[in-house]
Amino acid sequence: MSGGPRLVVENLVAGYVRGLPVVHGVSIEVDRGEIVTLIGPNGAGKSTLLKAIAGLIATEGGRVWVDGRDVTALPTHRVVSSGIGFVPQTGNVFTTLTVHENLKAGAHVIHGSLDERLERAYALFAPLAARRALRARALSGGERQMLAIARALMTDPTLLMLDEPTAGLAPRMVEDVFRQLRGLAETGIAVLMVEQNARAALSVSDRGYVLAEGRNRFAGPAHALLDEPRVAEAFLGGRR
């Protein structure tokens, strides 16, 4: 534990082909208890940035610290044990497994106290408790997203990263997901999410970053970004 921000990303360079980065030196920070939203056009490198932080793809430059610990270029399982939980954009649950099996799979890197974690997940997400024997493919979109989040929480992350957690959800479900994230942040978890529902996401966030062409474009308190005409026009679908 350190006094600094929970997540510090400094000048991160990453991509899929060595020498051809799509993230060109991005810097972001997330504090404990904060919700930070990353927005930007399609192809801006938002998902790539999260994958690089999570250790799923190689980085070519820059540094990532979690609670003051350098996790740059650690293999994914080591990144997970450093406290990062990641809910990817797609394929974030095993559709052929039950809710219960998905949660157990989420805790595979953890030793001991599984029952306690399962009960905690069901207490936090009551609809999942009622559906624990159901296969994930039978869940609604909102329930599936809930399961993906619950699954990522099984490792007790101090930083939860989510890639478009509300994609494809009905507006009421979008609010539910954001309310859950708010609740998690209130327990001290740092939340970093990428969102296309930019306006709604910023409304529940503390701070935000706009990424364009793999670079930082704007950053600031969420309300300031919502009120910034250059951000609203180019990245939030016009003025309010």
Ligand X SMILES: Nc1ncnc2c1ncn2[C@@H]1O[C@H](COP(=O)(O)OP(=O)(O)OP(=O)(O)O)[C@@H](O)[C@H]1O
Asked if 16 touches ligand X (CB under 6 A), the answer is: yes
Write out the H or E segment, with its range, that includes residue 179. helix 171-186
What is the C-alpha to C-alpha distance for residues 211 and 42, in angstroms, rounded to an integer? Answer: 10
Among 5, 21, 45, 62, binds ligand X (CB under 6 A): 45
Torsions phi, psi of 63, nearest 5? -140, 150
DSSP secondary structure, 59-85, as one string? EEEEEEEETTEE-TT--HHHHHHTTEE
Nearer to ligand X, 40 or 157 (CB): 40
Considering CB distances under 5 to 8 angstroms, the limit depending on partner class, which of ligand X, Mg ion, none binds residue 22?
A: ligand X
Position 44 contacts ligand X (CB under 6 A): yes
Query: Can you tell me which of 8, 9, 22, 36 binds ligand X, judged by CB under 6 A?
Result: 22
46 binds ligand X (CB under 6 A): yes
- Distance (Å, rounded) from C-alpha 66 to C-alpha 26? 16
Q: How far is the CB of 68 from ligand X (least distance, A)?
A: 27
What token pair was written down for 99?
A: 């809710």
Residue 60 or 67: the one with the smaller Cβ distance to ligand X is: 60
- For residue 191, CA distances in Å to 15, 36, 40, 76, 165 come to 23, 6, 18, 18, 12
| Minimum gap (Å) between residue 46 Cβ and Mg ion | 5
Nearer to ligand X, 30 or 128 (CB): 30
Candidate residues 43, 183, 188, 237; the one interacting with ligand X per rule CB under 6 A = 43
Tell me the longest C-alpha to C-alpha distance in the chain. Answer: 51
Using rule CB under 6 A, residue 82 touches ligand X: no
- Considering only residues 10 through 49, tell me which ones interact with Mg ion, judged by CB under 5 A: 47
- Check: CB of residue 212 under 8 Å from CB of residue 40: yes
Binds 208, which of ligand X, Mg ion, none (CB < 5 to 8 A, cut-off by type)? none
Instruction: Pick the closer one to ligand X by CB: 13 or 129.
Output: 13
From the list 187, 235, 229, 225, the residue with the least C-alpha distance to 205 is 225
Euclidean distance between CA atoms 11 and 32, whole angstroms: 21
Minimum distance between the CB of residue 154 and ligand X, rounded to whole angstroms? 25
Cβ closest to ligand X, residue 40 vs residue 85: 40
Q: Of the two residues 48 and 82, which places its CB atom closer to Mg ion in the complex?
A: 48
Assess contact for 38 and 193: CB atoms under 8 A.
yes
Residues in the site for ligand X, rule: CB under 6 A?
16, 22, 40, 42-48
